[in-house]
């Protein structure tokens, strides 16, 4: 996970970790980890391939899959470079610490030995596949088009094989999200003209209604 250098982890913790995150204990730390280190197109690919057994993998710089049993490699990085900021946040909060803050702090400090809540949160909120991660990143970047009312005739045809210079098959991974939400996710290189948007809606419509393709 080349993105997660010691310097970068320390910098992000110093800038963004606060007492509110600390109060949230392991779950908040896990969410902080996902949002700041494991989400976004420039961030490491880190997946939970088996959510019931908490099996994690990440891709190294050569795109080789590396197993991370119980997220121990990830936890070691967070502990080594981020825990100094957590300790400072706790020490500087007040002289007499609220019990719930002390409990949250102690729970975080013990994630290497226990960390059940941290690991469970990761497994429940990380994508299972690279495709899921790509879609999640597109949602995060808010690169979406709201569904407008549009009517197609059943005898209409798809008379194009690309949209905005992008082959139709590249849009297939976004189809399930469109069916569920009515929102179309698109690659960043997609030109958002009305013609292109209508073509894409038409393509999704006929894949869903008349072809029944499953991905």
Does a structural domain hold residue 168?
yes
Does a structural domain hold residue 133?
no
184/171 Cα distance (integer angstroms): 10
Residues 66 and 123 in one domain: yes
Give residue 112's pLDDT: 93
Residues 163 and 116 in one domain: no
Residues 118 and 172 in one domain: no
Residues 56 and 81 in one domain: yes
Tell me the CA distances in angstroms from 175 to 19, 39, 59, 91, 186, one per residue in order. 40, 21, 26, 49, 10
Residues 102 and 68 in one domain: yes
Residues 21 and 117 in one domain: yes
Does a structural domain hold residue 136?
no
Contact 193, 167 (CB under 8 A): no
Does a structural domain hold residue 93?
yes
Does a structural domain hold residue 135?
no
Q: What are phi and psi of 163, to 5 degrees?
A: -135, 125
Residues 60 and 92 in one domain: yes
Final residue of a domain: which of 100, 128, 156? 128
**Full residue range of the structural domain in which residue 66 is found:** 6-128
Residues 98 and 169 in one domain: no
Residues 121 and 61 in one domain: yes
Residues 120 and 59 in one domain: yes
Residues 117 and 147 in one domain: no
Contact 117, 27 (CB under 8 A): yes
Give residue 156's pLDDT: 67
**How many domains is the chain partitioned into structurally?**
2
Does a structural domain hold residue 108?
yes
**Residue linked to tokens 């908490």:** 54
Q: Across the 215 residues of the chain, what is the mean pLDDT of every consecutive 10-residue run? A: 86 93 94 92 90 91 90 96 94 83 94 94 93 79 50 67 87 71 72 84 68 35
Does a structural domain hold residue 149?
yes
pTM greater than the 0.75 cutoff: no
Give residue 210's pLDDT: 37
Final residue of a domain: which of 66, 97, 128? 128
Give residue 214's pLDDT: 35
Give residue 58's pLDDT: 95
Give residue 215's pLDDT: 31
């Amino acid at each position: 996970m080349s993105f997660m250098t010691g310097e970068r982890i320390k910098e992000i913790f110093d800038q963004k970790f606060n007492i509110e995150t600390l109060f949230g204990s392991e779950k908040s730390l896990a969410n902080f980890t996902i949002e700041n280190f494991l989400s976004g197109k420039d961030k490491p690919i880190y997946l939970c391939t088996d959510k019931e057994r908490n099996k994690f993998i990440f891709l190294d710089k050569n795109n080789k899959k590396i197993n991370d049993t119980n997220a121990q490699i990830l936890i070691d990085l967070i502990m080594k470079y981020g825990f100094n900021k957590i300790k400072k946040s706790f020490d500087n909060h007040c002289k007499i610490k609220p019990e719930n803050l002390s409990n949250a702090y102690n729970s975080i400090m013990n994630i290497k030995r226990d960390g059940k809540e941290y690991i469970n949160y990761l497994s429940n909120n990380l994508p299972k596949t690279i495709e899921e991660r790509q879609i999640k990143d597109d949602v995060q970047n808010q690169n979406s088009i709201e569904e407008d009312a549009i009517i197609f005739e059943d005898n209409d045809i798809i008379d194009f094989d690309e949209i905005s210079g992008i082959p139709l098959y590249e849009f297939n991974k976004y189809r399930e999200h469109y069916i569920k939400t009515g929102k179309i996710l698109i690659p960043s290189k997609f030109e958002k003209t009305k013609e292109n948007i209508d073509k894409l809606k038409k393509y999704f419509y006929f894949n869903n209604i008349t072809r029944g393709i499953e991905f």
